[in-house]
Chain A
Amino acid sequence: MSEQHIKLPEGSIEKTTTTLNLGPTHPATHGVMQNILELDGERIVSTEQTVGYIHRAFEKIAERRPLYQITPLTDRLNYCSSPINNMGWHLTCEKLLGVKTPKRVDYLRIIIMELARISDHLICNSIVGVDSGAYTGFLYVMQYRELIYEVYEEICGSRLTTNIGRIGGFERNFNDIAFQKIQKFLDEYPAVLKEFERLFNRNRIFMERTIGVGPISAERAMNYGFTGPNLRAAGVDYDIRIHTPYSSYEDFEFDIPVGSTGDCYDRFLVRNQEMWQSLRIIEQAFRKVQEFKGAEAEIYHADVPEYYLPPKQDVYTKMEALIWHFKIIMGEIDMPPGEVYNSVEGGNGELGFYLVSDGGRSPYRLHFRRPCFIYYQAYEELVKGSMLSDAIIVMSSLNLIAGEMDA
Chain B
Amino acid sequence: MLDVRCWMFAVVTAIQPEAGEAKGLTLEKLHYSRCPTNLKMLSNDHIKQKLVEKFNEQVTAFEEPYGMLTFEAPKEINLKVLNFLYDDEELKFRFLTDLCAVHFPDLKGKELAVVYHLHNLQDNVRIRFKVFTGVDKPDVYTATGLFSSANWMERETYDFFGINFVGHPNLKRILNVDEMDYFPLRKQYPLEDQSRVDKDDEMFGRGGSDGFGTEKTDHGTLVEAEKHNDDENII
A residues sitting closer than 8 Å to B (CB atoms) are 51-52, 55, 57, 59-61, 63-64, 66, 95-96, 201-202, 207, 211, 217-220, 222-225, 234-238, 242-245, 249-250, 253-260, 265-266, 269-270, 272-273, 331, 334, 338-341, 343, 350, 352, 354, 356, 358-362, 364-365, 367, 369, 373-378, 406-407
The segment out of B44-52, B96-104, B131-139 that lies at the interface is B96-104
Point out the residue from A219, A270, A354, A406 that lies within 8 Å of B117, measured CB to CB: A354
New A-B pairs, 16, CB < 8 Å, besides A51-B174, A373-B152, A377-B148: A52-B173, A95-B66, A218-B23, A224-B148, A225-B147, A234-B19, A236-B121, A237-B30, A250-B35, A257-B12, A340-B65, A358-B206, A359-B205, A360-B205, A377-B149, A377-B152
Interface residues as binary, B138-159 with A (CB distance below 8 Å gives 1, 0 otherwise): 0000000001110111001000
Distance in angstroms from B213 CB to nearest chain A CB is: 9
Question: CA–CA, A356 to B70, complex, Å?
Answer: 13
Question: CA–CA, A333 to B65, complex, Å?
Answer: 21
Interface residues of B, count at CB 8 A: 65
Point out the residue from B19, B68, B124, B199 that lies within 8 Å of A341, measured CB to CB: B68
| Chain A residues whose C-beta falls within 8 Å of the C-beta of B151 in the assembled complex | 377
Interface residues as binary, B6-30 with A (CB distance below 8 Å gives 1, 0 otherwise): 1011101111101110011101001
Question: CA–CA, A175 to B96, complex, Å?
Answer: 42
A362 pairs with B121, CB closer than 8 A: no
Q: Which of B94, B96, B185, B205 has the most CB of A within 10 A?
A: B205
The 13 listed contacts between A and B (C-beta, < 8 Å) are: A57-B184, A219-B25, A235-B16, A238-B121, A242-B35, A258-B15, A258-B16, A269-B5, A362-B204, A369-B97, A374-B149, A376-B152, A377-B149
Interface residues as binary, B26-69 with A (CB distance below 8 Å gives 1, 0 otherwise): 01001011111101000000000000000000000000011010
B176 pairs with A253, CB closer than 8 A: no
Distance in angstroms from A196 CB to nearest chain B CB is: 14
B84 contacts the other chain (Cβ, under 8 Å)? Answer: no
A237 pairs with B14, CB closer than 8 A: yes
Distance in angstroms from B26 CB to nearest chain A CB is: 11
Question: CA–CA, A352 to B36, complex, Å?
Answer: 21
Point out the residue from A218, A340, A360 that lies within 8 Å of B204, measured CB to CB: A360
A339 pairs with B65, CB closer than 8 A: yes
B174 pairs with A52, CB closer than 8 A: yes
B71 contacts the other chain (Cβ, under 8 Å)? Answer: no
B165 contacts the other chain (Cβ, under 8 Å)? Answer: no
Distance in angstroms from A216 CB to nearest chain B CB is: 11
| Chain B residues whose C-beta falls within 8 Å of the C-beta of A266 in the assembled complex | 5
B124 pairs with A244, CB closer than 8 A: yes
Point out the residue from A259, A334, A341, A361 that lies within 8 Å of B98, measured CB to CB: A341
A222 pairs with B95, CB closer than 8 A: yes
A253 pairs with B23, CB closer than 8 A: no
A225 pairs with B16, CB closer than 8 A: no
Question: CA–CA, A273 to B160, complex, Å?
Answer: 39
Which chain A residue shows the least CB distance to B156?
Answer: A373
B23 pairs with A217, CB closer than 8 A: yes
| Chain A residues whose C-beta falls within 8 Å of the C-beta of B5 in the assembled complex | 211, 260, 265-266, 269
Distance in angstroms from B97 CB to nearest chain A CB is: 6
B128 pairs with A341, CB closer than 8 A: yes
A258 pairs with B14, CB closer than 8 A: yes
B175 contacts the other chain (Cβ, under 8 Å)? Answer: yes
| Chain A residues whose C-beta falls within 8 Å of the C-beta of B204 in the assembled complex | 64, 66, 331, 360-362
| Chain B residues whose C-beta falls within 8 Å of the C-beta of A376 in the assembled complex | 152
B117 pairs with A223, CB closer than 8 A: no
Which chain A residue shows the least CB distance to B10?
Answer: A273
B191 pairs with A273, CB closer than 8 A: no
B203 contacts the other chain (Cβ, under 8 Å)? Answer: yes
B25 pairs with A218, CB closer than 8 A: yes
A378 pairs with B121, CB closer than 8 A: no
B232 contacts the other chain (Cβ, under 8 Å)? Answer: no
| Chain A residues whose C-beta falls within 8 Å of the C-beta of B96 in the assembled complex | 225
Which chain B residue shows the least CB distance to A258?
Answer: B12
A59 pairs with B160, CB closer than 8 A: yes
- Known A201-B6, A258-B15, A354-B115: A378·B205 in contact at CB below 8 Å: no
